[in-house]
Amino acid sequence: MGSGRIGGCAGMRIGIMGGTFDPIHHAHLHNAAMAAAACGLDHVVLVPTGEPCHKDPRGVSPSTDRFTMAEIACRPDPLLSVSRLEVDRPGPSYTVPTLRELRRTLGPAAELFLIVGTDTAEGMAQWYQAEAIPRLARLIVVGRADHVPDPARLPRSGTYDPVPASPWRISSTQIRARVRDRRPVRYLVPDGVAAYIAERGLYVGRPGG
C-alpha cells in the first residue's frame, strides 16, 4: 500500500481518493479529512495516478515524483496512507480496476468509499466500466469552492454521500504556475512537499499550467 500503515481491515470503512497530485496540496488533504469526518471513515488511501487516461502524460510529472510527494504529505497523519497500485501498473490508470485490486488487497469485510470532487462526479457516467463502481464502493462527493455543480450531471440523488465544499481555493495548476514564476508556495503545500519540489526542480521551465 505504499505508506504501509493500514493494518487489519476487517470491518473498517476505508476511503479511496485518486488523483494526479501534481503536486498534492493542502486542499487535497483537507478534503480527505472532511470526507472521513462526515462519513465516519477509519482511513483514507490516496492513489496517485500512474499514467492519466484523461491528460497528456507528457505534461505530467513522473509518477515516482508524484507518489513521493503524496507520501511526504501523508506521513504525519495516521488517517492517511498512499498506494503505489496505479504507479506500478503499466498503461493508463482506470478507477474500476484499481477498486477491484484494492478490494482483493483489503479483503471482503472492508467497506470501500470512493471520494471524488463535484467536478469529477459530473463526468463519471463516461468513465471506463462506470456501471461497476456502485458494486465496488460507495460514492462520496466533495464540493469545491471554485466549482458550481450541475445537478443534472451529478449521480442520482441517494446514490452518494455529499460533503460540503472545502474553503480552500488551491489548485495544482496554481501551484505549478507559482513555482514556475519563482513565487512561494509555502502554506499551499506541506513544507516537505515544497522542499521536494525545490530539490527536484519540478515545474521550473514547464510551459503552461
In whole numbers, what is the pLDDT of the chain averaged over residues?
Answer: 90
- Ordered by where they begin, the domains of the chain are 13-169 (3.40.50.620)
Q: What is the pLDDT of residues 147-201, one digit of tens each?
A: 788 888 888 877 899 999 888 889 999 999 999 999 999 999 999 999 999 999 9
Predicted confidence band of residue 126 (pLDDT cuts 50, 70, 90):
confident
* pLDDT at residue number 5: 52
Enter the C-alpha cell of residue 27.
486542499
Whole-structure pTM value: 0.91
Q: What is the pLDDT of residues 83-101, one digit of tens each?
A: 999 999 998 899 999 999 9
